[in-house]
């Protein structure tokens, strides 16, 4: 009986804490909506305030929130994939090499050079380069969702760059994990082949059997469609993650496999869940950071954030110009891609054992861009609209 009473008390406390967290997120979202800017920075700051070492630390059910946060990223990427047909994805992989290579060189180099200047070991340079290279799929997808989707040319370019970066992670993460473990290049090569094979199989199935799969899932009952899609997203994401491929890549390809006839319905059913779990992701990200570790790393982090913010805009602007877009469209796409997030934190976590300074530096760097990115994207979007009205 005592055990049951104790378990009941723990459960009630968990519900109370989660209830407080969700109500707090609702208040922040209402505040952001009223003043017309993204709620993402507020979610991150709330995590800092109520996490370990914050102003009012709360003992949230961390495992529950962590799983919810991962589900949020997966659903965000699925919603991006829904707006991207299989043929369009294959065409991106064929024609996007120059854009992808430019993005990699210009945004990986600042992190690697910074690690060298800070006298970090070579593996530290490999880790920090990855941290500065990859944009946050979660934050960028949320920005696109708040701006109304991926209908414009600049937003379409953003999605293409995200896809290329996420697929690059399918190669980078297995290599990094094997090298950090001290294993040889032979085992790294096997891990990479498994990862690439997994991506190829999922992509092939998405392009070849997408319509057939959508017909199987389709039903007049919304509940059947919702459960079928959600189960498939989680299943494919889990398998992809198990095979050293990003779960986000798996979820994106499930979205690609969803045919046009089912895409609109799937988006309508998944959107509320996406918003809930996405907010949980940003809150959890802030909860993981101890504010006391940020000030010493902040000067270098802010300098690195400024440099890589410019290089991300420059690389995306160049890609936009090669596709015949205007300067304004290229800059807008680049600004949208400035935020770093979940992948950068995963990479920094892998390298923390090699170089202790990587953790606080990466946290301060990611947090600054995760806050600044949505604000700049909102500003540039408003500026572009006013410029269009003035020109008209």
Q: Report yes or no on 163 lying in a domain.
A: yes
Give residue-wise pLDDT tens across range 234-287.
888 888 777 766 677 778 778 777 766 677 777 788 878 877 877 877 777 777
Least confident of 14-23, 51-60, 276-285: 51-60
DSSP assignment of 68-114 equals HHHHHHHHHHHHHHHTS-HHHHHHHHHH-HHHHHHHHHHHHHHHHHH
Q: Report yes or no on 199 lying in a domain.
A: yes
Q: Report yes or no on 391 lying in a domain.
A: no
Nearest-angstrom CA–CA distance, 68 and 47: 14
Q: Report yes or no on 240 lying in a domain.
A: yes
Nearest-angstrom CA–CA distance, 150 and 81: 11
Least confident of 20-29, 182-191, 236-245: 182-191
Q: What is the pLDDT of residue 390?
A: 46
Q: Report yes or no on 192 lying in a domain.
A: yes
Q: Report yes or no on 386 lying in a domain.
A: no
Q: What is the pLDDT of residue 389?
A: 46
Please give the residue range of the domain that contains residue 83. Answer: 13-381
Which CATH number characterizes residue 239's domain?
A: 1.20.1530.20
Domain count, the chain: 1
Q: What is the pLDDT of residue 392?
A: 47
The listed range with the strongest mean pLDDT (2-6, 35-39, 43-47) is: 43-47
Give residue-wise pLDDT tens across range 210-228.
777 777 777 778 888 888 8
Spatial neighbors of 21 by CB under 8 A, at least 6 apart, are: 50, 58, 60, 65, 283
Q: Report yes or no on 392 lying in a domain.
A: no
Q: Report yes or no on 247 lying in a domain.
A: yes
Checking if the pLDDT of 158 tops 80, the result is yes
Give me the chain's average pLDDT, please: 78
Angle at 286 between CA 331 and CA 248, to 5 degrees: 60
Give residue-wise pLDDT tens across range 81-112.
776 666 666 666 666 677 788 899 999 999 99
**Across residues 361-379, what is the average pLDDT?**
84
């Amino acid at each position: 009986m005592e055990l049951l009473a104790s378990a009941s008390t723990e459960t009630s406390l968990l519900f109370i804490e989660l209830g407080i967290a969700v109500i707090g997120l609702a208040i922040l979202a209402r505040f952001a909506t009223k003043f017309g800017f993204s709620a993402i920075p507020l979610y991150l700051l709330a995590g800092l305030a109520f996490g370990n070492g914050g102003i009012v630390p709360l003992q949230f059910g961390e495992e529950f929130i962590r799983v919810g946060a991962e589900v949020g990223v997966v659903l965000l990427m699925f919603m991006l994939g829904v707006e991207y047909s299989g043929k369009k994805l294959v065409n991106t992989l064929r024609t996007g090499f120059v854009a992808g290579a430019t993005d990699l060189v210009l945004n990986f180099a600042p992190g690697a050079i910074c690690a060298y200047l800070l006298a970090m070991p070579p593996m530290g340079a490999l880790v920090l380069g990855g941290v500065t290279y990859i944009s946050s799929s979660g934050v960028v997808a949320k920005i696109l969702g708040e701006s109304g989707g991926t209908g414009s040319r600049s937003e379409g370019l953003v999605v293409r760059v995200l896809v290329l970066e996420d697929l690059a992670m399918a190669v980078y993460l297995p290599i990094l994990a094997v090298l950090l473990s001290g294993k040889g290049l032979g085992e790294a090569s096997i891990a990479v082949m498994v990862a690439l094979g997994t991506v190829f199989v999922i992509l092939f199935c998405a392009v070849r059997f997408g319509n057939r799969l959508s017909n199987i899932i389709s039903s007049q009952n919304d509940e059947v469609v919702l459960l079928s899609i959600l189960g498939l997203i989680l299943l494919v994401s889990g398998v992809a993650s198990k095979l050293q491929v990003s779960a986000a890549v798996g979820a994106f390809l499930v979205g690609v496999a969803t045919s046009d006839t089912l895409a609109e319905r799937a988006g309508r059913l998944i959107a509320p869940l996406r918003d809930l779990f996405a907010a949980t992701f940003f809150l959890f990200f802030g909860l993981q950071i101890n504010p006391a570790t940020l000030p010493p790393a902040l000067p270098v982090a802010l300098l690195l954030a400024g440099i890589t913010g410019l290089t991300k805009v420059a690389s995306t602007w160049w890609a936009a110009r090669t596709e015949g877009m205007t300067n304004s469209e290229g800059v807008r796409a680049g600004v949208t891609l400035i935020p770093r997030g979940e992948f950068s934190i995963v990479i920094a976590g892998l390298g923390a054992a090699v170089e202790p300074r990587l953790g606080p530096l990466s946290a301060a760097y990611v947090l600054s861009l995760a806050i600044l990115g949505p604000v700049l994207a909102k500003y540039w979007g408003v500026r572009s609209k006013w410029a269009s009205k003035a020109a008209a």
